[in-house]
Every structure is written in C-alpha cells, then in structure tokens.
Amino acid sequence: MSKKRYIRETGIEARISAIIEPIANDMGFDLVRVKILPDNGMTLQIMAEDENGNFSISDCEKLSREVNPALDADDPLDKAYHLEISSAGVDRPLVRARDFERYIGHEAKIELFDMINGRKRFRGEIVSSNEKSVTIKLPDALPETDPKHELELAQIAEAKLMMSDKLLEMAAKNQKNDNIIDNSEIEIIDDKKDDNPKETK
C-alpha cells in the first residue's frame, strides 16, 4: 500500500509537518503525526516509524539530531518548547491506508470531518480496508440495521486504535520478533534551549 497520509495536520502543526516530513522521509522514516500539547508549557510531539511500524530509541535520536536544526532555522513556534520524538505507540493513530490494513480485526475509534447519516463518530472493529476506504463494524448497531460502515479515508479527521488485550498481545509478539524496544513509553525529549537531549521512560 502507498505511503500517502490521508489524515494530516492543520494550522501551525501542518507548517511544522511540512518542515519535518521531508527530513524523516530522506532518513527512511514515515511521519505519523505532529501535535502541539500543553505539557511542560508547550510540547511539540513528533511520531514517526519505519515501513514496518517500528521506531527504536536509536531512531528517535537520529531523527532528533536532524530535526532540531531545521526547526531552529525556521522557528515556527513563538516560545520555548519541549521536543518529544517517539514511536506511534500501541494505541496508535491511524493515518495511512496501510495502518488500517495492518490492524484489521482490531478496534478503532474514527471521527469524520462531516456527518454521514447523522453520525460522525464511529467505534468498532476494522473489518476491511483498501487505498480509498475502511470498513468498520459497530457493536452498538440497532437491530435490523447493517453494523458495517464504509468510510472514505479522505473524510477521516482523526482515527486511532483502542487499547485491548488482543492489541497488547500483537504488540508484544511484534516486539519479540523485531528484538527492539519500541513503544510509546520510550521517547526522546529535547528542550529547545537544552543541547543535551534526555532519554526518558
């Protein structure tokens, strides 16, 4: 499946994404998400991964070293911030067609830009996916109604996996097979005014 990100940032986050994404791509990584959070005054969170969905501490460090100079040169934020670079995590955002394909059988929460038949929020099992759409099966569908809804990826504003035992088992298996540390609790945090990045758990 293609690497196209259907779910993208807006505003200042989109500007930062435009700075970071080419850098990540040149290094062999795919950008997952850029988000500005109020943590520690302001935190700029960058999630990335390789084509297999992995992102190690070493990868975090490599991307941090390349991203910092670019952000300093463009200076998109008007105050001090913490830079947090991490993997997408277990209950990760779903931003590409391949994400939905990879997690068929798992539960996701999806919000659309606009309502479809009076509804814009969907939570249920991913049952199928292709380059243009994802089909989700709702557990709360009314009797005699079709529980499956096909949603166009271009209409999705936000989507993420829901934590479950099944998802944790899959993550544990993948981590064992890859033999690397890769989860959302391990990240590189770099204060904009601090030249010594810190690894945190």
Residue-by-residue pLDDT tens, the chain, 201 positions: 568 999 989 999 999 999 999 999 999 999 999 999 998 899 999 999 998 889 999 999 999 999 999 999 999 998 899 999 999 999 999 999 999 999 999 999 999 999 998 899 999 999 999 999 999 999 988 888 899 999 999 999 999 999 999 999 998 887 766 544 444 444 555 555 444 443 333
Q: What is the pLDDT of residue 1?
A: 56
Cα(138)–Cα(147) distance, rounded to whole angstroms? 5
Q: Does 97-162 match 11-90+181-200 at the fold level?
A: no
- Please state the length of the chain: 201
| 3-class DSSP state of 169 | helix
Q: What is the pLDDT of residue 171?
A: 86
In the chain, what are the domain boundaries? 11-90+181-200, 97-162
Phi, psi of 114 (to 5 degrees): -130, 155
Q: Which pTM value belongs to this model?
A: 0.84
Beta-strand pair 43-49/82-86: parallel
Indicate the CATH number of 97-162 among 2.30.30.180, 2.60.120.10, 1.20.1260.10, 2.40.160.40. Answer: 2.30.30.180
Cα(46)–Cα(31) distance, rounded to whole angstroms? 8
CATH 3.40.50.360 fits 11-90+181-200, yes or no: no
Q: CB–CB of 57/181 below 8 Å?
A: yes
Q: What is the pLDDT of residue 156?
A: 96
